């Protein structure tokens, strides 16, 4: 099967097709650009490709759906895997064209697993959750603006916009609840996740949207996917304190952080875990990150077993 490497940018898609002599194409990152890419493949008599791209959230997923629905095999991979592969090739240059070629060669050599697309309900939930997150970020910016100097002349405008954003956030939250409620699978998973003390609506909906198939992960892979596993740095006699890696699903970590802080007070398993870590001299940030990891393990457990949280179950 021919291989197509795609470097996904906000405005453009840089593509390299490995079929005999490599061919390159640049198209806008829009529906019209997707159509141009499909036409380019057909003009080159390519009916099916293994398309590979980095995980860049909504920017890559809309293209992935477009290609998947037209019968192509799609892989969405962690950008760090591509970076490491490029370093293994001793690649010194970094441009969109170069990156597309590296992605294509990675796909050809490593044969990453095919992407498992979300269901229509999961996809709708993704859109709603991401919109809610964007609205909350805008509201935070406006609330911060109220604390800035020289705000008196624009205070009315800022407070009016905050009211609008509050209303839109409420609309999104209602839509999120309705979407989960009418989907048997999502509703069942939500009930299991929210049976864990410390996890509420925002965390459960974010997990269902950004990691819809948690139960299919291996536990260590799940921690790496979210980015809450410790990163050891040892070489010879040099040993540095382990720290949380910054690789992973950025959208999940902030809500999981807040959930962990609540769980350290209200969840008996996480609370006793935190006490043991404090006795061992761990810092508060280390304890919170470990609690985030522990919560993920509990989420994995309830979804894998299909049983609600039970603090006495071993």
Residues 215-248 have pLDDT tens digits of 877 766 777 777 775 544 444 454 444 444 444 4
**What percentage of the chain exceeds 70 in pLDDT?**
88
Which residue among 133, 158, 182 closes a domain?
A: 182
User: Is residue 86, in this structure, part of any structural domain at all?
Assistant: yes
For 22, counting Cβ atoms within 10 Å of its Cβ (0-12 exposed, 13-18 middle, 19+ buried), the class is: middle
pLDDT of amino acid 59? 74
pLDDT of amino acid 271? 96
User: Is residue 209, in this structure, part of any structural domain at all?
Assistant: no
Residue 169 sits in which domain range? Answer: 119-182
Same domain, 84 and 28: yes
User: Is residue 271, in this structure, part of any structural domain at all?
Assistant: yes
* Matching residue, tokens 């370093």: 87
Q: How confident is the model at residue 193 (pLDDT cuts 50, 70, 90)?
A: very high
Does the structure show a pLDDT above 80 at 115? Answer: yes
Same domain, 91 and 143: no
What average pLDDT does the segment 38-46 reach? 93
What average pLDDT does the segment 147-172 reach? 95
Same domain, 103 and 158: no
Calpha distance 137→143 (Å, rounded): 10
Same domain, 259 and 279: yes
Q: How confident is the model at residue 250 (pLDDT cuts 50, 70, 90)?
A: confident
Element (H or E) spanning 75, and its range?
strand 73-77
Give me the number of domains the chain comprises.
Answer: 3
pLDDT of amino acid 204? 97
Same domain, 21 and 104: yes
Does the structure show a pLDDT above 90 at 126? Answer: yes
**DSSP 3-state helix, strand, coil percentages of the chain (rounded to 5)?**
60, 15, 25
Which residue among 59, 92, 110 closes a domain?
A: 110
- For residues 108 and 135, the answer to whether their CB atoms sit within 8 Å is no
pLDDT: which is higher, 49 or 223:
49
User: Is residue 200, in this structure, part of any structural domain at all?
Assistant: no
Does the structure show a pLDDT above 50 at 210? Answer: yes
User: Is residue 208, in this structure, part of any structural domain at all?
Assistant: no
Give me the chain's average pLDDT, please.
88
Name 308's Cβ contacts closer than 8 Å, sequence gap at least 6.
191, 192, 195, 302
Same domain, 166 and 223: no
Does the structure show a pLDDT above 50 at 309? Answer: yes
Q: Three-state SS for 44?
A: coil
Task: Return the structure tokens found at 273.
Answer: 């875990």
What average pLDDT does the segment 130-153 reach? 94
Q: How confident is the model at residue 249 (pLDDT cuts 50, 70, 90)?
A: low
User: Is residue 230, in this structure, part of any structural domain at all?
Assistant: yes
User: Is residue 198, in this structure, part of any structural domain at all?
Assistant: no
Calpha distance 191→18 (Å, rounded): 46
pLDDT of amino acid 229? 57
pLDDT of amino acid 244? 45
User: Is residue 201, in this structure, part of any structural domain at all?
Assistant: no
Does the structure show a pLDDT above 80 at 166? Answer: yes
104-131 burial, b if ≥16 CB within 10 A, otherwise e? bbbbeeeebeebebbeebbbbbbebbbb
* CATH number for position 8: 3.30.420.10
Which residue among 110, 133, 165 closes a domain?
A: 110
Q: Three-state SS for 151?
A: coil
């Amino acid at each position: 099967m021919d291989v197509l490497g795609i470097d996904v940018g906000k405005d453009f898609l840089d593509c390299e097709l490995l079929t005999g002599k490599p061919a390159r194409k640049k198209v806008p990152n829009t529906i019209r650009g997707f159509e141009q890419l499909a036409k380019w493949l057909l003009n080159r008599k390519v009916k099916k490709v293994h398309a590979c791209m980095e995980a860049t959230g909504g920017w890559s997923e809309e293209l992935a759906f477009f290609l998947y629905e037209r019968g192509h095999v799609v892989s969405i991979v962690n950008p760090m895997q591509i970076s490491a592969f490029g370093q293994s090739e001793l690649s010194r240059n970094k441009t969109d064209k170069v990156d597309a070629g590296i992605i294509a060669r990675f796909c050809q050599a490593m044969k990453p697993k095919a992407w498992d697309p979300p269901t229509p309900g999961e996809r709708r939930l993704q859109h709603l959750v991401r919109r809610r997150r964007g609205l909350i970020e805008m509201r935070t910016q406006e609330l911060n603006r109220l604390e800035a100097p020289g705000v008196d002349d624009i205070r009315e405008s800022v407070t009016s916009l905050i009211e609008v954003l509050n209303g839109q956030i409420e609309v999104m939250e209602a839509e999120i609840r309705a979407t989960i409620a009418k989907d048997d699978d999502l509703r069942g998973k939500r009930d299991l996740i929210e049976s864990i003390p410390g996890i509420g609506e925002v965390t459960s909906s974010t997990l269902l949207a950004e990691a819809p198939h948690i139960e299919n992960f291996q536990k260590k892979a799940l921690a790496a996917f979210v980015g809450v596993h410790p990163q050891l740095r040892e070489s010879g006699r040099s040993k540095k304190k382990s720290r949380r890696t910054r690789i992973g699903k950025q959208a999940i970590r902030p809500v999981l952080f807040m959930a962990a802080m609540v769980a350290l007070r209200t969840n008996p398993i996480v609370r006793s875990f935190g006490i043991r870590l404090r006795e061992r001299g761990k810092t508060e940030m280390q304890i919170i990150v470990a609690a985030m990891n522990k919560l993920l393990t509990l989420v994995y457990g309830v979804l894998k077993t299909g049983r609600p949280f039970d603090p006495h179950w071993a």
